[in-house]
Homo-oligomer: A and B are copies of this chain.
Amino acid sequence: MKVLPEKTVERLSKYRRILNVEYERGERYIFSHELANLLHLTSVQVRRDLMLIEYSGSHKRGYEIKSLIEHIGNIIDPKGDINIVIVGMGNFGKAIAHYFNKRGKHYKVIAGFYRNASHCSTVFDGIPCLPISELQDFIQKNDVKMGVITVPPQQAEIVMHQLVEAGIKGILNYTPKPLKVPEGVFLEEYDVITSFEKVNYFIG
């Protein structure tokens, strides 16, 4: 299978999320237009995405939910555990640590880092909080694959460089400061304001 487009991977994650809900509700099959409706997409889009992952349904019954959930998992889930560090353990960093501690199957937040070493005496949700001076060493010793940036925006760029220098290939930037990463590093950014602007536009 060829490398999938970013937006397809994003939608596969969302399809699975909805499929799990439908499966728990007792549904066993779903048509492309039903899946599309639940996510405000077109059925053409859904069919095209599932063709890309070489999954086909039956004309009469649609897609078999359980096997589609598994098929998507085989494509987007990591084979083993993915170790993650969060830089910036403010409210947002804590929220993410807590999320994965409670429900993360494949993703493990194994440490949080503070820019300000004097704030580092704590353990949050069982996760050690370390001073940023230990970041590089920690990443290399613990096979860390992803770094999450939740520091104040003016510190985002320097933290990004520290993660990249330590060998991190996958970065999630949750600050409002857009970043540019070097070739070979994958960056995903989420700025809260975009969601609010979308809602505002459609209720306006």
Contacts and interface: CB of A to CB of B under 8 A. Distances in A.
Interface residues of A, number: 56
Nearest to A148: B196
A203 B190 contact: no
Interface centre among A178, A180, A191 (most CB of B within 10 A): A178
Contact of A76 (B77, B99, B200): B200
Contacts of A99: 176, 192-193
A178 to B, nearest CB: 6
Interface string A175-193: 0111010000010101111
Interface centre among A9, A193, A201, A204 (most CB of B within 10 A): A201
B196 A172 contact: yes
Copies in the complex: 2
A200 B38 CA distance: 25
Nearest to A204: B78
A94 interface: yes
A17 B203 contact: no
Contacts of A193: 13, 17, 99, 107
Closest 10 CB pairs of A and B: A91-B95, A92-B95, A170-B199, A170-B203, A186-B202, A13-B194, A91-B94, A169-B203, A13-B197, A91-B91
Interface of A: 4, 6, 9-10, 12-14, 17-18, 21, 38, 40, 75-78, 82, 84, 90-92, 94-96, 98-99, 103, 106-107, 145-146, 169-172, 176-178, 180, 186, 188, 190-204
